[in-house]
A and B are shown apart, each in its own frame.
Chain A
Amino acid sequence: MSNVDELEALLRPPAMEMPPYPPKVITLASGEQMVVRQIDRDEVPTLLKAIAPLIWVERDFYDVVAARLFGELLAYKRYRVRDEYCLVGLIDGVLAGIVNGRAVNGDVGMSYHTITIRRGLRVGSHMFAAKMEYHMEYLNQKEVLIVAESPIGFRRWMIEYPLQKKYEVQHELGGVPSWTLTRDTYFKAKPRLVSGRRPVPPELLERAKTITLPGEETVKAQVLGEKGEGA
């Protein structure tokens, strides 16, 4: 092993064995089918292209979320964050939403970000629910630490589930006081907030294999509420 490889090994965090997130399909209000699946590191550069233009969108704190998500995914790609995962929502292969998080240890999850590219269809709500499903039903963790960076996020997570305060713990996102989703809260909320069907029909899964990015102008128009803003 060269010195470079030895140094790289020191720089990389240790990794926990994490089970895969099995893909699922969700029927949206529009009748469109959104496949939610996990990505691997090779797909990160594609996502970064979609996220980059949003770093300059102030509305609804897209700038903060996009900038941090960009860094988190880049760190995932380059092995500079521990036990991270990322799920994407794809409608006919076109990127509609991204969520990510990581495992702090076997019992505790750390929710990172939820970003909606296709607004007005509760994509963010579905994607966040998928993330919680991963922590609770596949990683079998006891709790997930969560913060919101926008009022929309606060309504969607803190109020809708509802989450409990765990202010004595600083969240990794800016040291903001944490909220927590416990197993009890998750399973109570599951019937009204967590949806999707498995297995995904092969033809849908095939279309979701490759991530297609909507055009930059389309992305900006959607997040700025110029198309299909939420009801």
Chain B
Amino acid sequence: MREVAIIGAGMTKFGRSDLSLIEIMSEAAIRALEDAALGDQKVDSVYVANMGAARLNRQTAIASALVDQLNLFPAMAEAVENGPASGASAFKNGFQAIASGMADVVLVTGGERMREVNNLEATDFVASMSHPQAEYIYGVTLPALAGMFTRLYMDRYGVTAKHLALVAIKNHANALKNPYAHIHQAITIEGILTAPEAVVNNPYIADPLRLYDCCPVSDGAAALVLTTREIAEKLGKPIVKVGGIGQATDTHAVHERPDPTELTAVKIAAQKAFQMAGIGPQDIDVAELHDAFTILEIAESEEAGFFPKGEGHNALEQGVTSLGGKLPINPSGGLKAKGHPVGATGVAQLVELTWQLRGAAGDRQVEGAKNAFACNFGGFGNNVVTTVLMREE
């Protein structure tokens, strides 16, 4: 298997865009291609991550459309749909194409234009990934699933509303340092939790989750250029190596799991990625976790092996996961504040980590970061892709 390196990274500002989906994705892809500075080297294959173009934007065959927009003929191209884990899934496909020798240069682009529809439609669209007979028909939405999960987690492990708020406050603060983030708004514990007005500022969405426990609905795109280690060296690019990728699945309906607070797919996917990379969670310097809801950052930090089960919230409270802490989590602002255009998210996590490993993350740089970890969480944990990236001197 050939070694694979990331040589180009780019993204759009997340938020609300007036551009079409293909234009948004093109913008990110052009930035990544410019960053890669391929010269005579051509893109052999294009993988496009997206979840909702057919429904939200009434467009299909978007990989072909992107190749056409970018004039990348005759590159191979296909779209990858794996719910909110589409981004990391597309990245995995790109990795496999290069590792196997099928392609030498791959462009991976993830994008979503969710704000073309209203919030009710967007919520229903996301809910369509739940189990159609066991969950969806009863009105279950993703916030509802996350609310039930959070309640169980609180009861069992002592997580409180304050811990959830601390995740949001940390990630909003990080996003202020990220020009690509959707939300540039500092928030305080007083404003979202303890002041009498907090009930209006931060209303309940799905008890115990409140507004600031949930990610926004975003438009945006992110892109990466992958190649072999040899080509990367020839191009004189800093080597950000794909150390490991892991993926695992779990039951579609959350209630069918023996213990719904166990995110088994996260645990298995992380173990696989670490095994492939030949390192462990203790070696990770920075992580991007899928905090579509604040509780997920805490739970994933435990399942990935960074903290013992039930202790993630303590590490958060002690500042371990803040910028400047021992293991900064979501320096980009995470899905919570950077935004969550679902198809783009997995790619955007890896764009952020590439910048971190290059030392190019600006004010949110994690000093000396060498090894990075990403968790891209599909469904409600029924399909999870994790990635380990490593900087080589």
Given contacts A120-B185, A231-B183, A231-B212, contact A29 B199 (CB under 8 A): no
Stretch touching chain B among A81-89, A102-110, A168-176, A221-229: A221-229
Query: B191 near A29 (CB under 8 angstroms)?
Result: yes
Complex CA gap A75/B214 in Å reads 42
| Inter-subunit contact B183/A228 (CB<8 Å) | yes
Residues from chain A with Cβ under 8 Å of B183 in the complex: 120, 228-231
How close is B153's CB to chain A, nearest CB, in angstroms? 21
Q: Mark B296-327, 1 if CB is under 8 A from A, else 0.
A: 00000000000000000000000000000000
Q: Which residues from chain B contact A226 at a C-beta distance below 8 Å?
A: 15
User: Are B185's CB and A191's CB within 8 A?
Assistant: no
Instruction: Point out the residues of chain B lying under 8 angstroms from A197, CB to CB.
Output: 196
Q: A231-B211, A231-B216 are in contact. Are A27 and B190 (CB under 8 A)?
A: yes
Contacting pair B15 A225 (CB below 8 A): yes
Q: Which of B118, B186, B337 contacts A30 (CB 8 A)?
A: B186
Binary flags per residue of A162-203, CB closer than 8 Å to B gives 1, else 0: 000000000000000000000000000001111111000000
Interface of A is mostly: loop
Q: Flag if A155 contacts B119 (CB, 8 Å).
A: yes
* In the bound complex, CA of A228 to CA of B185 (Å): 5
Contact B192 A29 (CB under 8 A): yes
With A155-B119, A229-B15, A231-B211 as given contacts, are A28 and B191 in contact (CB-CB < 8 Å)?
yes
Q: Is the CB of B200 within 8 A of A225?
A: no
Indicate if B202 sits at the interface (CB-CB under 8 A). yes
Please pick, from A31, A193, A228, the residue contacting B191 in the complex, using a CB distance under 8 A: A31
Determine whether B182 belongs to the interface, using a CB cutoff of 8 Å to chain A. Answer: yes
Q: Select from chain A the residue with minimum beta-carbon distance to B212.
A: A231
For A129, give its contact among B200, B211, B337 (CB under 8 Å): B200
A131 CB to nearest chain B CB (Å): 14
In this assembly, does B201 line the interface, its C-beta being within 8 Å of a C-beta of chain A? yes
Is there an interface contact between B216 and A29, defined as CB atoms closer than 8 Å?
Answer: no
B201 x A121 contact (CB < 8 A): yes
- Separation of A129 and B211 alpha carbons in the complex (Å): 18
Taking CB as reference atom, which chain B residue is nearest A195?
B197
**Cα-based distance from A215 to B33 in the complex (angstroms):** 37
- Taking a contact as CB atoms closer than 8 A, the residue among B15, B119, B184, B212 that contacts A29 in the complex is B212
Nearest Cβ on chain A to B340's Cβ, whole angstroms:
11
A122 contacts B200, C-beta separation under 8 Å: yes
Known contacts A120-B183, A121-B185; is-contact A27 B199 (Cβ 8 Å): no
Contact (Cβ within 8 A) A29 B201: yes
CA distance A225 to B199 in the complex (A): 24
* Total inter-chain residue pairs, C-beta < 8 Å: 79
Q: Is B16 an interface residue (CB 8 A)?
A: yes
Q: How far is the CA of A3 from the CA of B196 in the complex (A)?
A: 55
Chain A 142-171, CB-CB to B under 8 Å as 1, else 0, gives 000000000100010000000000000000
Measured between beta carbons, the chain B residues less than 8 angstroms from A100 are none
**Bound form: Cα–Cα A28–B216 in Å:** 19
User: From B189, which residue of chain A is reached at the shortest CB distance?
Assistant: A31
A125 to B198, CA, bound (A): 13
Smallest CB–CB gap between B291 and chain A, Å? 13
Q: Does A26 contact B (CB under 8 A)?
A: yes
Contact across chains for A27 and B191 when beta carbons are under 8 A apart: yes
Question: B146 → chain A, closest Cβ, in Å?
Answer: 15
CA distance A121 to B200 in the complex (A): 10
Q: Is B188 interfacial (CB-CB < 8 Å)?
A: yes
**In the complex, A37 has a CB within 8 A of chain B:** no
Q: In the complex the two chains form, is A229's CB within 8 Å of B191's CB?
A: no
Q: B184 touching A228 by the CB < 8 A rule?
A: yes
Q: Given the complex, which residues of A lie within 8 Å of B197, measured CB to CB?
A: 26-28, 126, 195-196
Binary flags per residue of A106-140, CB closer than 8 Å to B gives 1, else 0: 00000000000000111001100100000000000
B residues adjacent to A (C-beta < 8 A) = 15-16, 118-119, 182-188, 190-192, 195-203, 211-212, 214, 216, 337
Q: A29-B191, A121-B201, A231-B211 are in contact. List 9 more A-B contacts (CB 8 A).
A: A27-B191, A29-B198, A29-B201, A29-B212, A30-B191, A195-B199, A197-B196, A227-B184, A229-B216
Which 6 residue pairs spanning A and B have beta carbons closest together? A31-B188, A228-B185, A29-B191, A27-B195, A195-B197, A29-B201
- Ordered by A's residue number, 20 sampled pairs between the chains whose C-beta atoms are within 8 Å are A26-B197, A27-B195, A27-B198, A28-B191, A28-B197, A29-B188, A30-B188, A121-B185, A121-B201, A122-B200, A122-B201, A155-B119, A192-B200, A195-B197, A227-B184, A227-B185, A229-B15, A229-B216, A231-B211, A231-B337
